């Protein structure tokens, strides 16, 4: 069994060592052009040349949560794309989103601004009942985020393509439930996969349906958001602010309005990072299962895009 590692921007040595330790019978190597045919691949942003050169791959393991970029490439006809189920990312995402929601709800950004100017200020406490949080996308990450928000006693709404039942979460689903979901939410958290159906889903029409004083948290993909529409709704006062971790162009270009807009909090795509040891253990376990003819979780449906 041969396994190739082809991950742009990732130091390969620790991954190779970890994969060799977890799969001692496997031949594990970093891909170089002209490499022998492999059975499996661990990838992130691989070049098309790699996939063209490996037509016999049985499975391609993507080390990030999103597979949208990978699905745009021509994949080997027999290869299944496998995403990470969690690998330590869901707790990170829950931390990030809860921090963003609480920071806005408690007006800590306002306190920080006052302290920088030497002002001792006070703000009237807000009611959690007025800050319903809507989570778009109830997969592994979205479900963990929704349950974490419940700990802080926020009303939580969830929207997914198909019906989902989560304890303490008011669930909406499908196109017929989307507008009602938005109208019931004041804070909107986007955790949807990026597909042709969800690209530009955070636009003027969608965001205008949030309750007045709405707040947007995008931790999925930059292409979900129409930047100009968000900025316009902030300037018009319908939205109170936004926390963005993902952008159409990364790094966020110098001079982009998001850098300096007073209602914006920007972070450099760091809401949930891939944890190497957890990822290696999960990938190795799935390869062992495939070798034994057993089913595995996380196989991507290329039609749905996740």
* Same domain for 113 and 57: no
* Same domain for 282 and 133: no
* Same domain for 252 and 203: yes
Q: Confirm whether 94 is domain-assigned.
A: yes
Q: Confirm whether 302 is domain-assigned.
A: no
* Same domain for 93 and 75: no
Domain that holds residue 139: 89-266
What is the spatial order of strands in the sheet that 169-173 belongs to?
A: 169-173, 156-160, 133-136, 187-190, 214-218, 239-244, 264-266
158: enclosing H helix or E strand: strand 156-160
Q: Which residue has the tokens 């017929």?
A: 176
Per-residue model confidence (pLDDT) at position 249: 97
What residues act catalytically?
A: 221, 269
Per-residue model confidence (pLDDT) at position 87: 84
Nearest-5° angle of CA 42, CA 55, CA 8?
30
Per-residue model confidence (pLDDT) at position 85: 85
How many C-alpha atoms does 237 have within 13 Å on its Cβ side?
A: 0
The full length of the chain comes to 306
Query: Of the candidates 232, 249, 266, which is a domain's last residue?
Result: 266
Tens place of pLDDT for every residue, the chain, 306 residues? 999 999 999 999 999 999 999 999 999 999 999 999 999 999 999 999 999 999 999 999 999 878 999 999 999 999 999 999 888 999 999 999 999 999 999 999 999 999 999 999 999 999 999 999 999 999 999 999 999 999 999 999 999 999 999 999 999 999 999 999 999 999 999 999 999 999 999 999 999 999 999 999 999 999 999 999 999 999 999 999 999 999 999 999 999 999 999 999 999 999 999 999 999 999 999 999 999 999 999 999 998 899
The answer to whether 245 and 218 have CB atoms below 8 angstroms apart is yes
Q: Confirm whether 150 is domain-assigned.
A: yes
* Same domain for 101 and 83: no
Q: CA 276, CA 87: separation in Å to the nearest integer? A: 8
5: enclosing H helix or E strand: strand 2-7
Token pair of 246, please?
Answer: 């993902």
142: enclosing H helix or E strand: helix 140-151
CATH number at residue 285: 3.40.50.720
Per-residue model confidence (pLDDT) at position 261: 98
* Same domain for 146 and 58: no
Q: Which residue has the tokens 């790699």?
A: 50
* Same domain for 241 and 205: yes
* Same domain for 96 and 81: no
Q: Give 176's strand partners.
A: none
Q: Confirm whether 142 is domain-assigned.
A: yes
Q: Confirm whether 165 is domain-assigned.
A: yes
* Same domain for 228 and 124: yes
φ, ψ of residue 146 to 5 degrees: the values are -60, -45
Q: Which residue has the tokens 């939205």?
A: 239
Q: What is the DSSP string of 203-254?
A: SHHHHHTSPTTEEEEE-S-GGGB-HHHHHHHHHHTSEEEEEE---SSSSPPT
* Same domain for 165 and 137: yes
* Same domain for 205 and 64: no
Token pair of 23, please?
Answer: 């799969």
* Same domain for 105 and 254: yes
Q: Confirm whether 299 is domain-assigned.
A: no
For the chain, what is the domain count?
2
Nearest to 161 by CA among 145, 142, 144: 142
């Amino acid at each position: 069994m041969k396994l190739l590692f082809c991950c742009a921007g990732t130091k390969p040595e620790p991954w190779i060592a970890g994969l060799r330790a977890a799969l001692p019978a496997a031949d594990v190597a970093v891909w170089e052009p002209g490499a022998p045919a492999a059975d499996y691949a661990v990838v992130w942003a691989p070049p098309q040349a790699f996939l063209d050169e490996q037509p016999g791959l049985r499975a391609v393991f993507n080390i990030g949560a999103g597979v949208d970029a990978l699905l745009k490439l021509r994949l080997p006809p027999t290869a299944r794309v496998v995403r990470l189920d969690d690998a330590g990312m869901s707790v990170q995402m829950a931390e990030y989103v809860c921090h963003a929601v609480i920071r806005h709800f408690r007006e800590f950004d306002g306190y920080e601004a006052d302290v920088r100017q030497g002002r001792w200020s006070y703000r009237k406490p807000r009611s959690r009942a007025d800050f319903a949080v809507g989570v778009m996308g109830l997969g592994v990450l979205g479900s963990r985020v929704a349950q974490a928000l419940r700990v802080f006693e926020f009303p939580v709404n969830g929207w997914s393509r198909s019906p989902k039942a989560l304890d303490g979460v008011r669930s909406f689903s499908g196109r017929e439930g989307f507008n009602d979901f938005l109208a019931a939410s004041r804070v909107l958290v986007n955790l949807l996969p990026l597909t042709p159906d969800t690209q530009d889903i955070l636009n003027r029409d969608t965001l205008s349906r949030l309750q007045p004083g709405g707040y947007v948290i995008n931790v999925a993909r930059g292409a979900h958001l129409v930047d100009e529409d968000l900025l316009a709704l902030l300037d018009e006062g319908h939205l109170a602010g936004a926390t963005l971790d993902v952008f159409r162009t990364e790094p966020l270009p110098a001079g982009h309005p998001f850098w300096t807009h007073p209602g914006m909090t920007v972070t450099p795509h760091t809401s949930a990072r891939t944890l190497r040891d957890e990822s290696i253990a999960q990938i190795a376990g799935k390869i062992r299962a495939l070798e034994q003819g057993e089913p595995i979780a996380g196989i991507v449906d290329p039609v749905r895009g996740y």
